[in-house]
Amino acid sequence: MILVTGGCGFIGSAFVLQWLAEAGEPVVNLDLLTYAGHPGNLASLADDPRYVFVRGDIGDTALVSDLLRRHRPRAIVHFAAESHVDRSISGPLAFAQTNVVGTLQLLQAALEHWRALPAAEAAAFRFLHVSTDEVFGSLGPGDAAFTEQHRYEPNSPYSASKAASDHFVRAYHHTYGLPTLTTNCSNNYGPRQFPEKLIPLVIRNALRGEPLPVYGDGQQVRDWLHVDDHCSALRAVLARGAPGATYNIGGRSERANLQVVHTICATLDRLRPRADGRAYAELVTHVRDRPGHDRRYAIDDSRIAGELAWKPAVPFEEGIDRTVQWYLDHADWVESVTSGAYRQWIAQQYGAPAEAASAA
């Protein structure tokens, strides 16, 4: 069994679904169900005996320690985080609390659990910390891509909080010997991503005939990674990664934000043309740039490719096609996660954090 934190979020839910489909090993999912955590992401597992959902906070040491004692997971896969840069600019303290203090409390609980394990179980145990390439800061147009040795230069409260959590994970390995693994991934996209991020926001606004906001000149470059590729990389790291190591995970798909927006518009023109026959690209609206907006991220994935024989399998154009089609087919999901009714349902369904048999 493995313990996943934040498994109702975008990447976490994709990982749980892929894990149970490919590995089949039981999963305990600990998620606080904040605004971006949606138990409906895992509704298909409602009757799956391999899946246990627990509503709770990674910072609740008593709860985490009890879960570790009762379920005895062989690994912790840590997704739970505040992750949206804009929100971190307006409210940085929440990011420090969840991403730094919460991760530290989870590490301490994991350390105590690991120390109590029999020798064979302790040797096999892993703590996999899922982080971001944003900890490395910004690159110029001609700069070499980020390697695992790149200097940390976070430029937003979000990336600073993730950098701090990365350092604590490293410290727990080097100081206490906890067998940790850290991954730094590029921008993810795919189904079930909360529509405050660029790709689902553009899809939603376009379908509603609303402006498609693009920061500044839209030439900020990101390396786009399909969430299914990210999850397969995490499975490879968990299975074959060296304790204490970090691995960069990228999609080998550098694109400027404006190019991404136009790709989505062209895909919608083909799959769901506007009633008036006009192009979706006419809705593109340039807005004031984000404070401290990093210009370019790029991933050098030589280490994970060479050591773990992993590389991305989903080309960007195919991934965008699949993603747009998913949102077209799941308009009810978009409405459910963006309406007040969803938060009311969470309160009625769960009330105070408690353990349940499944996510639905």
What phi and psi values does residue 199 have, to the nearest 5 degrees?
Answer: -65, -50
- The confidence score (pLDDT) of residue 340 equals 62
Residue 358 has pLDDT above 80, yes or no: no
Q: Which residue has the higher pLDDT, 117 or 196?
A: 117
Least confident interval from 1-10, 16-25, 28-37, 134-143:
28-37
For tokens 């353990």, what's the residue?
355
Question: Annotated catalytic, 335?
Answer: no
The beta-carbon contacts of 59-67 under 8 Å, at least 24 apart in sequence, are 59/97, 59/98, 59/101, 59/102, 59/105, 59/106, 60/353, 61/105, 61/108, 61/109, 63/30, 63/353, 64/30, 64/105, 64/106, 64/109, 65/109, 65/112, 65/113, 67/3, 67/28, 67/30
Contact at 8 Å (CB) between 248 and 303? Answer: yes
Domains of the chain: 2-189+226-251+297-313+339-356 (3.40.50.720)
- The confidence score (pLDDT) of residue 194 equals 87
- The confidence score (pLDDT) of residue 291 equals 87
Active-site pick, 57, 60, 133, 166: 133
Active-site pick, 158, 172, 297, 327: 158
Contacts of 313 (CB under 8 A, 6+ apart): 228, 229, 232
Residues of the chain above pLDDT 70, percent: 94
pLDDT digits (tens, 9 = 90+) for 192-251: 998 888 999 999 999 999 999 999 999 999 999 999 999 999 999 999 999 999 999 999
- The confidence score (pLDDT) of residue 156 equals 94
* Residue ranges in the chain assigned as alpha helix (H): 10-22, 61-71, 85-90, 92-95, 103-115, 119-124, 157-176, 198-207, 227-240, 257-271, 302-308, 316-329, 331-338, 340-350
d(CA 238, CA 96): 26
pTM over 0.85? The answer is: yes
Q: Which residues partner with 248 through β-bridges?
A: 184
Contacts of 179 (CB under 8 A, 6+ apart): 114, 125, 126, 127, 173, 243, 244
d(CA 97, CA 103): 9
For tokens 């004031």, what's the residue?
288
Please state, rounded to an integer, the average pLDDT across all residues of the chain.
93
- The confidence score (pLDDT) of residue 38 equals 86
pLDDT tier, 118 (very low <50, low <70, confident <90, very high otherwise): very high
Report the sign of the C-alpha dihedral through residues 329, 11, 17, 355, in that order. negative
pLDDT tier, 347 (very low <50, low <70, confident <90, very high otherwise): low
**Residue 52 CA: distances (Å) to CA of 44, 86, 193:** 13, 32, 22
Classify 306 as helix, strand or coil.
helix
- Quote the Cα angle for 6-290-249, to 5°: 45
Contact at 8 Å (CB) between 277 and 224? Answer: no
Question: Annotated catalytic, 153?
Answer: no
Residue 43 Ramachandran class (φ > 0 left, ψ -120 to 50 alpha, else beta): alpha
Question: Annotated catalytic, 289?
Answer: no
Contacts of 267 (CB under 8 A, 6+ apart): 320, 321, 324
Active-site pick, 31, 57, 82, 134: 134
- The confidence score (pLDDT) of residue 356 equals 42
Least confident interval from 59-68, 260-269, 282-291:
282-291
pLDDT digits (tens, 9 = 90+) for 34-66: 877 888 899 999 999 999 999 999 999 999 999
